[in-house]
Amino acid sequence: MGKKIGIIGAGPAGLTAGIYCARGGFETVLFAGPQPGGQLLLTTDVENYPGFSTPIQGPFLMEQMEAQAVSCGCQIKYESVHSVDFSGPSFQVHAQESHVFDAVIIATGASSKWLGLESETFFRGFGVSACAVCDGGFFKGKDVAVVGGGSAAVEEALYLARHCKNVFLLHRRDALRAEKVLQQRLERSPNIHILWNHIVKEILGQEKPKKVTSLRLQNLLTEEVYQKPIDGIFIAIGHHPNTELFRDTLTLDPAGYIVCEKGTCFTNIPGVFAAGDVMDPHYRQAVTAAGLGCMAALDAGIFLESKE
């Protein structure tokens, strides 16, 4: 009987794994979960996914990836996985029904943390972003803000400073948590300005064409509330990997990311693999997630062949 691979997640990692597993001759079932298509559904223009000479829409790219996976023979279930049993020798995945697999690939991604403002949701993809590498290029020569005080926020600000006229780093405290070496680079960047003790009260903009035009800020020391013209805002207050389901079974790092053997997608359980943002706290790009999905599928194939 043919071997069966289960994939949890329908972002670039899961769908690429689906393409490779199905093409590799395995019976492949993919669970799409709460957001079929993954994080790229939250954005508009994608300019850095190879293969397209003009920007493409995130949802369009994911529709195409899904259609490609299906045409290769990957079966997609629009269901969330609510529990797993990896005690083996085969693996159980419980969604609307229970399924048994010879190998499982986890590609449940990560979620950016947001401020929780209604205006933030309204302008997401239209001047509000959580990824400087993804969207910084749209703000060349413009003024942007970055919210946060950790290493990720400083890295985002440093990246944006290469493209933008001015970068305003908004931090609610009076000291950064970022690594010292990053803080030193920040100090050497003439177009990065830190606004200490500041919070965002509201993101303001226009509806047609939809875009951010300013922020309503509050200085927590003086309590002054004022408006600052700005073209874009990057929220860099962290990410959380979607690993709650695996907390008791897989080795996770202190931030909750699945730990894989260096240079592979093997987790601590033979036959269970992880790919994409759920195991990658560093790169967090669609193309790296897709690459890791490919690696996980090839690793799973090698694992299953070695068992025969």
| Interface with ligand FAD (CB under 6 A) | 8-14, 31-36, 38-40, 42-43, 46, 48-49, 80-81, 107-110, 112, 129-131, 134, 242, 245, 276-278, 284-287, 289
- Indicate the residue among 112 and 267 with the shorter CB distance to ligand FAD: 112
Residue 49 or 139: the one with the smaller Cβ distance to ligand FAD is 49
Compute φ and ψ for 83, nearest 5 degrees. -160, 160
Instruction: Indicate the residue among 16 and 214 with the shorter CB distance to ligand FAD.
Output: 16
Catalytic site residue 134? Answer: yes
Q: Label the pairing between strands 232-235 and 225-229.
A: unpaired
Contact between residue 242 and residue 110 where contact means Cβ atoms under 8 Å apart = yes
* Closest to 163 in 3D by CA, of 259, 265, 258, 232: 232
- The CB-of-46 to ligand FAD minimum distance in angstroms stands at 4
Burial of 178 from C-beta contacts in 10 A (0-12 / 13-18 / 19+)? buried
Closer by beta carbon to ligand FAD, 214 or else 285: 285
Distance of closest approach, residue 306 Cβ to ligand FAD, in angstroms? 26
d(Cα 85, Cα 88) in Å, to the nearest integer? Answer: 8
Residue of 21, 131, 260, 265 marked catalytic: 131
**Is residue 265 flagged as an active site residue?**
no
3-state secondary structure (DSSP) of residue 138:
helix
Q: Which two tokens stand for residue 142?
A: 């413009």
Q: How far is CA 184 from CA 18, 177, 181, in A?
A: 44, 13, 5
Q: CA torsion 175→176→182→186, rounded to 10°?
A: -60
Residues 142 and 144: their CA atoms lie apart, in Å, by: 6
Residue 45 bears catalytic tag: no
* Contact (Cβ atoms closer than 8 angstroms) between residue 196 and residue 218: no
Q: Of 103 and 286, which CB lies nearer to ligand FAD in the complex structure?
A: 286
Q: Nearest distance from residue 90's CB to ligand FAD, in Å?
A: 19
We find the least distance from the C-beta atom of residue 86 to ligand FAD, in angstroms, to be: 14
Residue in 21, 74, 102, 134 annotated catalytic: 134
Q: Which residues are catalytic?
A: 131, 134-135
